[in-house]
Amino acid sequence: LDAELSYVRNDVVNHYALSFNLLIPSETNNLHFSWHAKSKASGHNFCVEYKLGFQVDNPMAMAVPQANISLQGEVPRTLSVFRVELSCTGRLDSEITILMQLNLTINLSKNITVLNFKRRKMCYRKHEPEVKSPASDKNSSKTIFDPVNAAPTTSTRVFYISVGVCCAVIFLVAIILAVLHLHSMKRVELDDSISDSSSSQGLSQPSTQTTQYLRADTPNNATPVTSYPTLRIEKNDLKSVTLMEAKAKVKDIAISRERITLKDVLQEGTFGRIFHGILIEEKDPSKEKQVFVKTVK
């Protein structure tokens, strides 16, 4: 996942981000988390204590994850990074569900915040190479001809040849059936294209209906809806609109970036955020209104 994902921002827990059960690539064996505790109460002994625990659903395929920090302690005051190791045992093939639980406690209020991080990872069995014994190497170096085994060897060859001929016949029959199927599909597509061309004459007439797609703003009670600019696009022109034409159509409802001020982050996902913002009136810069702004990476 090539993105930054924050689970706690400005003392607010992002439950939307915690709900993701992210899949870890099989070649990834380490996870890194950044954390720090901000000191709010000046003059008081303010600290955030933590307890860390791990759980896997199949211990035969993956050992219990290990962290390079102690399982209990105090969250550092400066921005730090700790590592969690996810090591597969190599005994069997299985998808493992990992749960990392982090309990945070503020010593002043004794309120406990529980964070559950869910991950999934595929573990595969390791194939160990066969080790030949010295005795087998000595026996393989000597070639002994036994006339008794000559007949079974010949029959085995005949069996493999007959199996190969049967496979070749089945392969040829499959190719012939595939060619016949493609030929029939082409005939069906040709018939459909002829029927579509005959029925599309009535659809090629210019349409007088229009569809309203965008509105610049949500009006208040004092301003009627008709005073706001709208974007109207002909239905039969949707496929033929170029980039320059699209820019010209949305020019009337475009809002300058300088008029928008982003404030607090209300929601945060993997590829987008929703901000609380302020929009300055175009005609009267002294007037402001509260808006919501969604950004996308």
The CATH class for the domain spanning 8-123 reads mainly beta
What is 253-296's CATH number? Answer: 3.30.200.20
Q: Which residues of 132-155 are buried (b: 16+ CB within 10 A; e: fewer)?
A: eeeeeeeeeeeeeeeeeeeeeeee
Instruction: Give the CA count within 13 Å in the CB-facing half-sphere of 242.
Output: 2
Does this model's pTM top 0.85? My answer is no
Beta-bridge partner residues of 30: 85
147 has pLDDT over 80: no
Q: For residue 97, what pLDDT band results from cuts at 50, 70 and 90? A: very high
Query: 69 or 236: whose pLDDT is higher?
Result: 69
What is the tens place of the pLDDT at every residue in 253-289?
888 888 899 999 999 988 899 999 999 988 888 888 9
Tokens of 288: 């402001």
Q: Determine the Cα angle at 67 with ends 62 and 72, to 5°.
A: 125
56 has pLDDT over 60: yes
Distances (CA, A) of 236 to 175, 195, 204, 209, 210: 44, 21, 8, 9, 9
Neighbours of 131 (CB within 10 A): 5
What is the tens place of the pLDDT at every residue in 4-54?
778 988 888 988 888 888 888 888 899 999 998 887 655 566 788 899 999
Q: Where are the domains of the chain?
A: 8-123, 253-296
